[in-house]
Copies of this chain bind each other. A is one copy, B any other.
Amino acid sequence: MIDLLAQTADLVAIPSESHHEAALADHVEARLRALGHLQVDRLGDNVVARTVAGRAMRLVVAGHLDTVPANGNGTPEIRDDVLWGLGAADMKGGLAVMLELAAAVPDPAIDVTWIFYAGEEVAADHNGLGHLFAQRPDLVAGDAAVLGEPTGAALEVGCQGTIRVRVELHGVRAHTARPWMGRNALHRAGRVLATLDDYVARRPVIEGCTYHEALQAVFAEGGVAGNVVPDRAVVTLNHRFAPDRTIDEARAHVEDVLAPHLAEGDVVTLVDAADAAPSGLTHPLLAALRDRNGLDVRAKLGWTDVSRFAAAGIPATNFGPGDSELAHSRDERVDRASLDAVFGALGDLLRKSP
């Protein structure tokens, strides 16, 4: 039996914070090339490895190499059947499964494309899968796609969209001993931030799955000097929205939330946006994955690159080891059962065409 927990720990031990994925891409590329049966291409820090056996269908399995910044959890640690560490769930567990399956199933019943890509945890224009779709659509083409994001070995279908909105609030500079001569932009930002704290998110039900939206401040800053009433504050928000809304509708909603606190001269800018995606379970490959393994089906709350596949007409779902609710937290971890379950289900799909 392959020790997927140890394999994942090896990947966690190679730091790969966004924009610094080269070492992990080198490692992955070398391992895939060594297998011999795959056609391997590399674009930047994105690695694509394909079987080219001329099968009737092609499954794409993709995962991102990068992690968010470490949070005191940069060193992998295995205790019993659990691996703790940055990226254990999001998503080096998925990468370990992909690498081991690429080796374990050298002659699959369906052609398979393994994609390892950079820049998923940062602004959309850095996304390696986006770069591949733009520059080499031939490399990422397929009949259906599985994204190895953490789903606890369930199918998480669709995905919520995401926008980032920058809010620049203005005030009037003055001496802090006479603040009534000015207007404190940070105090105005406080009104916005307190409103976010009170925000009640929608939980729409779509195709039987319950989504859960969110609106969070991710950055705030302001200040001139220790004795000056600041005349400018900037708050950046991240809004996650369900697949029943477009980016424009989501943006309009954020602007409605902000409206009571804005004044003339304030500037609201959309700095990053990615569409939501519908469920991809109509495709026989993905339906087979669900039915042969009796997998649970849930709504995907985070934005994932299934949205890119959906936009390119390729039905896609999230399916990977690890608990997505622990992603980006200090307590991020993955357990052996979850890794083995995903390894088993995907291996079965590769060995038996539906």
Interface residues of A (CB under 8 A from B): 68-69, 71, 90, 121-123, 160, 162, 164, 172-179, 181-182, 184, 186-197, 212, 214, 216-231, 233, 235-236, 238, 240, 272, 301-303, 324-330
Q: How far is the CB of A331 from chain B (nearest CB, A)?
A: 10
Beyond A71-B231, A174-B328, A176-B216, 9 extra complex contacts between A and B, CB < 8 Å = A69-B225, A71-B173, A160-B177, A162-B176, A173-B328, A173-B329, A178-B301, A186-B217, A220-B223
> In the complex the two chains form, is B225's CB within 8 Å of A121's CB?
yes
Identify which of B160, B193, B326, B329 contacts A193 (C-beta below 8 A): B193
> In the complex the two chains form, is B176's CB within 8 Å of A238's CB?
yes
Q: How far is the CA of A186 from the CA of B238 in the complex (A)?
A: 13
The residue on B at minimum CB distance from A300 is: B177
Residues of B near A224 (CB, < 8 A) are 68-69, 218
Identify which of B123, B172, B217 contacts A184 (C-beta below 8 A): B217
Residues of B near A225 (CB, < 8 A) are 68-69, 121-122, 218, 328
Q: How far is the CA of A278 from the CA of B160 in the complex (A)?
A: 62
The residue on B at minimum CB distance from A235 is: B186
> In the complex the two chains form, is A228's CB within 8 Å of B218's CB?
yes
> In the complex the two chains form, is A122's CB within 8 Å of B226's CB?
yes
Instruction: Assess A197 versus B184: contact at CB under 8 Å? Given A192-B190, A226-B236, A272-B226.
Output: yes
The residue on B at minimum CB distance from A124 is: B226
> In the complex the two chains form, is B123's CB within 8 Å of A214's CB?
no
> In the complex the two chains form, is B68's CB within 8 Å of A214's CB?
no
Residues of B near A173 (CB, < 8 A) are 71, 328-330
> In the complex the two chains form, is B190's CB within 8 Å of A197's CB?
yes
Q: How far is the CA of A212 from the CA of B178 in the complex (A)?
A: 8
Residues of B near A231 (CB, < 8 A) are 71
The residue on B at minimum CB distance from A223 is: B219
Q: How far is the CA of A174 from the CA of B330 in the complex (A)?
A: 8
